[in-house]
Amino acid sequence: MEKYTLIITEKPDAANRIATALDAEGKPKKTVSNGVPYYQAYRDGCIVVVPALGHLYTITSKQKGRRYPVFDYQWVPLYLAERGASRIRVWLKVIAQLAKDAEGFVDACDFDIEGSIIGYTILKYACGGKEAVAKRMKYSTLTKEELQKSYAHLQPTLDFAFVEAGLTRHEVDWLYGINLSRALTQAAQNCSGQYATLSTGRVQGPTLRFLDAREKTINCFVPTPYWSLTAKISVNDTVLEVEYEKTLENKAQATAIRDACKTKEGQIEAVDVKEFLQNPPVPFDLGALQSEAYRIFKYTPMRTSSILQHLYLSALISYPRTSSQKLPPSIGYKTVLKKLGKAPAYAKQTADLLSKPTLKPNEGKKYDSAHPAIYPTGNLLEKPLDSAERNIFDLVVKRFLAVFGEPALRQIITVTVSINGNFFRLNATRTLKEGWLRFYSPYVQLKDDSLPSLAEGQKVTVKKVTLGDHLTKPPARYNPRTLLLKMEKEEIGTKATRAATIQTLYDRKYLSGTDSLFVSDLGFEVIEVLSKYCPSVVSSEMTRILEGRMEAIQQGKETKQNVLQNATETLKFVTSELKEKEAQIGAQLSQPIQKSRIEERTVGACPKCSDGKLVILRSKKTGKRFVGCTNYFLSKCTAAYPLPQTGTVKPLRSACKSCGSPIVAVYLRSRRPWKLCLNPSCPSKGERKSEV
């Protein structure tokens, strides 16, 4: 092959799109070497485009074993540090071979901190130190036009500020994670003699602390009583409900007011009408989109991130990992709208916007130097999307349209009614002019109240006055959306890592629940240990300061060496404290770990005995697994059910719809999981067996 420019991309899909966009005829030659695809294109010379698979290098300790503290580390190929990553060895070998005959190098990984590290480490280690001579492609969409423009205007060097900040973040996070996690894990293992992976880190710890604090507030909450008064009145044959002007904390007073209102007639004292403009929403940054996707569709932040990545790689939306709420004119508002208008679902709305004399988005305050806010590219679908992808794509499109809409004109009507000198109120809202609301439908639904003609001094008929007794409620538990917003407010983690942090808390069994997040006994004990013996590592303030220092590295105002030195000094002190208290920590963690293990295997209540539970067990004789009662080995109960001997079995803690018996999920590598009823006589048994 003639000499060529080697382009490194982050993912195979991106490599395909970049090669297709850059090839003069749009038909690059694809080659697969030992399972690794790469593309040969021609555009003012030969170009070879080869993808990574995300991070191909990671950090690992230089010392062997699981001792701590550990401060000597190195960047190594992923296959040397992680099981199941053997494929990476071949991948790096192919990239290294392609690098030998290349005369120029371009980093075309995503233009953010993670993408910069991926490109930098490949160029440095796999390509033989080419990071110093490589150029950089910067783009926010994978559209043909933008990729060609990006290649025509290559940045002369890598974005070393991003690289330095990213390397620092990874290394600091590794130092905190490896040392604190080993301290907890070894303390528990030395006490119980059983291994269980426990983890924490500089973002994970403060996040768990938010949940812990909320849970304790809820558990310690003492409800107090209060009373409300509601009157049903009739005006022009229309029955309305009006509320007493304030909440009452004294029952005797509430009862006295109710009794005083036992009259047949009242009077409208005032009708207050106010109009206000409701501005359009601002463009989506990643956190806002994750929050909105949970509010509307109940998609977890992690799931939304995954869907967005697929839409981005399909060139349907711009780069999603952005904190920007700005849409610069350079993206071409009219061009995007014209493309979207070719889809029947958006034709009328885009036509309305294109008829405006000017297009100006309602922007937010947040700015990201690397990328604009998330917006649709205008490209039409090349292949069908699944329902979740369609939902998120439609949400992105509708939000983009809405930000160009006019403010909505709304009206608030406050009616004050006097019943024997006691004032009751009614608030009603109306939409006078839809404005942007019609572009964001059905994702915004505002209440529109209907009222009869009302005037001051008008008499009303009092039909009934009701006294309601209530108790104050504790604050709501966090859900994935509100926890994400809390992390963003406290400035811990990054737009790209917050969702993964929440997922890690689930994976470690510190957290459970979907709509409401519950802290497990293990989660409580972990945060109590950390708060007691090393409170600084669960402090959001410490994490916020570190985030600020890493941001300063990106701006050239701080150095990697200073930040790492500070982190090392902090960890030396913290790990010393944890080692000294290892026995106490182990004793505190062992019991909830054991309880967590039992809960993982618990299927449900035993149908045969009153005090037993059905759990996943193994036979002492054959080693085969089955579901049996906890009293089975005590010879107190004979309840037992067979299980498949291959795949992973997880309790679902729900009942079969056909017979009411407990069900489990069976996961096989090559198949989708299926639900299995434990009752051998279940009417659905034959159907479920056919799925195996």
Tell me which residues are annotated as active site: 319
Neighbours of 565 (CB within 10 A): 11
Q: How far is 284 from 372, CA to CA, in rounded Å? A: 9
Q: Which residues contact 289 (CB under 8 A, 6 or more apart)?
A: 304, 308, 320, 374, 395, 396, 399
Q: Which residues contact 323 (CB under 8 A, 6 or more apart)?
A: 285, 286, 287, 366, 367, 368, 495
Q: How far is 385 from 392, CA to CA, in rounded Å? A: 10
Q: How far is 609 from 682, CA to CA, in rounded Å? A: 20
Is the CB of residue 363 less than 8 Å from the CB of residue 283? yes
* 480 dihedral zone (left: phi>0; alpha: psi -120 to 50; beta): alpha
Q: How far is 308 from 537, CA to CA, in rounded Å? A: 32
Helix axes 540-554, 560-580, angle to 10 degrees: 160
Neighbours of 22 (CB within 10 A): 26
Distance of CA 457 to the CA centre of its chain: 54
Task: List helix spans (H) across 539-684.
Answer: 540-554, 560-580, 582-601
Alpha-carbon distance values, 108 to 2, 9, 125 (Å) = 21, 5, 17
Neighbours of 685 (CB within 10 A): 17
Is the CB of residue 6 less than 8 Å from the CB of residue 50? yes
Task: List helix spans (H) across 372-492.
Answer: 387-402, 480-489
Three-class DSSP labels, 223-255? CCEEEEEEEEEEECCEEEEEEECCCECCHHHHH
Q: What DSSP state is assigned to residue 203?
A: T
Task: Say whether the peptide bond before residue 680 is cis (omega within 30 degrees of 0).
Answer: no
Task: List helix spans (H) across 298-380.
Answer: 301-313, 333-340, 347-354
What is the CB-side half-sphere exposure of residue 401 using CA atoms within 13 A?
A: 31
Is the CB of residue 284 less than 8 Å from the CB of residue 322? no
Of residues 71, 143, 667, the one with CA closest to residue 380: 143
Q: What DSSP state is assigned to residue 472?
A: -
Q: Which residues contact 231 (CB under 8 A, 6 or more apart)?
A: 241, 242, 244, 261, 266, 417, 419, 424, 462, 464, 465, 466
For 449, the 3-state DSSP assignment is coil
Q: How far is 241 from 150, CA to CA, in rounded Å? A: 62
Question: Tokens 């160009």 label which residue?
Answer: 404
Q: How far is 614 from 607, CA to CA, in rounded Å? A: 9
Q: Which amino acid is at 514?
A: T
What is the CB-side half-sphere exposure of residue 682 using CA atoms within 13 A?
A: 22
Question: Tokens 């992690």 label which residue?
Answer: 302
Helix axes 286-297, 387-402, angle to 10 degrees: 120
